[in-house]
Amino acid sequence: MSLCASTLLEKQARRRGKSRDLNLSEFDYDLPRERIAQWPLAERDASRMMLVGRHSGAWEDRQFREFPELLRGDELIVINNARVLPARLWGHRQGVNAQPIGKNSPIRHEHLTAPVEVLLLRACGEDQWEALVRPGRKIPVGETIVFGAGELRAEVVGRGDYGLRRLKFECAGNCIEVIKSMGHIPLPPYIQRGDSEIDRQRYQTVFASRGAAVAAPTAGLHFTPAILSRVRERGVEVAEITLDVGLGTFEPIRTERLEDHPIHAEHYEISATTAEAIARAQAKHCPVLAVGTTVVRALEDAAAKFASGRHERADAPAHTAIAAGRAEANIFIFPGKPFRVVDQLLTNFHLPRSSLLALVSAFARRENVLRAYRHAVESEYRFYSYGDCMWIR
């Protein structure tokens, strides 16, 4: 289907008051492998930035260092302060029920000494984590995985599909601190190298302070303390949320109809201070600028939940958009979905056929976004986590 024909169908569907079915193939684009950034730039704020009109689709090539001066001065900027956990661990099997290796043991020595990769996905109780374990088929419930010289151990207490396991960690002290010291940074699959010491600093925002994410909120990687100071000097307010970015952010869509995709869930927390700041901004008609799709998910999920239960909150001010607190974002945003809070979006470039590209397409119209992406490819922008960014306003 041509871009013009697809756009016409979307307009006709909107006039009829309903959205048409969206095919995954409509969220595709060609990207040469060499456009995928494998390393961060020497300086965080040296990234390029494409300005894109949310409604017009017009673009302009700029530098991220210009960001503070390009602000109007009355925006509310919302950032994700989630800290990336060194969530990739390497260990070896102890053996089911600690069975010793002997002449008659069914467990071969090479099975116990072979490396086992553990990628923590999310905390699910005291010292318990959901994790991907490889090779998963060889790690049954009851098995113990030993890390390092034994200072950290994990018992498999549950299992799921595709190598998913539930692990209960044990150590002499604080297990999360031991994991931080022993773990590796879980770089995205499109970064074709192992993690290095530089990633511990650069795959982390300068405002990371809370939570335990397994992927970075990458739109925030461009900010430096100096950039944030210049933003505040403009009189712009900066608010924070915490959304623990999960591995699901890289999960491919496997259904041909976009709406059939089972979206991943991510835990988030919105403070009362941030909820009040958003209410003030909306009451004054000041734009809310989300730094990254993770912020969009948290704010729009919170707004949708608040709207659905608003009849239970009769005392809420008319301009209240969201409620503070902890929740789980299970919202899937694609073209046709409304935006209740976010007016502007700073975001990196996203994978073809991905839920994040669908989110951005919902925000700024699919045809505008794909045209901007084609320009970015032709103009040799750097893509994905360590790449350049786009400011849609």
pLDDT tens digit sequence for 333-361: 999 999 999 999 999 999 999 999 999 99
Structural domains in the chain plus CATH codes: 3-84+199-392 (3.40.1780.10), 88-182 (2.40.10.240)
Examine the pLDDT at 320 and tell me if it is beyond 90: no
Query: What is the pLDDT at residue 64?
Result: 98
d(CA 205, CA 216): 8
Query: What is the pLDDT at residue 384?
Result: 97
Query: What is the pLDDT at residue 13?
Result: 45
Looking up tokens 């998910």 gives 297
Query: What is the pLDDT at residue 7?
Result: 47
Over residues 42-89, the pLDDT tens digits come to 999 999 999 999 999 999 999 999 999 999 999 999 999 999 999 999
Mean pLDDT of the chain, nearest integer: 88
Query: What is the pLDDT at residue 102?
Result: 46
71 or 137, which is more confident: 71
d(CA 93, CA 97): 11
Mean pLDDT of 311-337: 76
Query: What is the pLDDT at residue 83?
Result: 96
Query: What is the pLDDT at residue 379?
Result: 98
Q: Which long-range contacts (CB under 8 A, 24 or more apart) does 96-105 make?
A: 96/140, 96/142, 96/143, 97/142, 98/144
114 or 218, which is more confident: 218
Specify whether the CB–CB gap between 316 and 279 falls below 8 A: no
Specify whether the CB–CB gap between 167 and 155 falls below 8 A: yes
Which residues make Cβ contacts (< 8 Å) with residue 393, sequence separation at least 6? 51, 52, 53, 54, 287, 289, 343, 344, 345
Nearest residue to 195 (alpha-carbon basis) of 204, 206, 186: 186
Give the model's confidence band at 116: pLDDT under 50 very low, under 70 low, under 90 confident, else very high: very high
Mean pLDDT of 22-27: 91
Examine the pLDDT at 319 and tell me if it is beyond 90: no
C-alpha distances in Å from residue 280, one per residue of 13, 236, 307: 35, 13, 17
| CB neighbourhood size of 303 (10 A) | 21
d(CA 284, CA 281): 5
* % the chain with pLDDT above 90: 72
pTM: 0.87
| Residues composing the chain | 393
Nearest residue to 197 (alpha-carbon basis) of 58, 39, 29, 373: 39
Give the model's confidence band at 252: pLDDT under 50 very low, under 70 low, under 90 confident, else very high: confident
